[in-house]
Amino acid sequence: MDMEISEVLSLTYQLKQLLETDARVQSLAQIEYELDQDMEVLKLSATMHRYADAYAASFDTESLRSLAQQQLHKAKYELESHPLVRRYYELYRPVRELFDLIQTELFSPFNLHICGEDH
């Protein structure tokens, strides 16, 4: 059964449409929108990124690196503790599992295996 590329693209587009109407994907899109609109989350995220940049640039001295690491850890914890961010992670998990399943089902037959591997 030889499929034309147009058929493959059409089926791919159909899958995309099905995924866009999936309740899990829609819920995740909604919480992403809410995250992008929430000023507290945006501030926490900017703070975390600022400390991540400082940490990446702090490898000159051990004391600077340690302080930057502590600041980054605290900022990351504060961001991930925010109720909207926690809700995002709850909604992200099932979508990620769905996408992983699709990835496995669609592409595992095409994965290359090295002789002697047990797959």
* Each residue's pLDDT tens digit, 21-58: 999 999 999 999 999 999 999 999 999 999 999 898 88
Closest by Cα among 69, 41, 42, 43 to 55: 69
Percentage of the chain beyond pLDDT 90 is: 71
Give dist(CA 19, CA 57) in Å, integer.
Answer: 40
pTM over 0.85: no
What pLDDT, on a 0 to 100 scale, did the predictor assign at position 61?
81
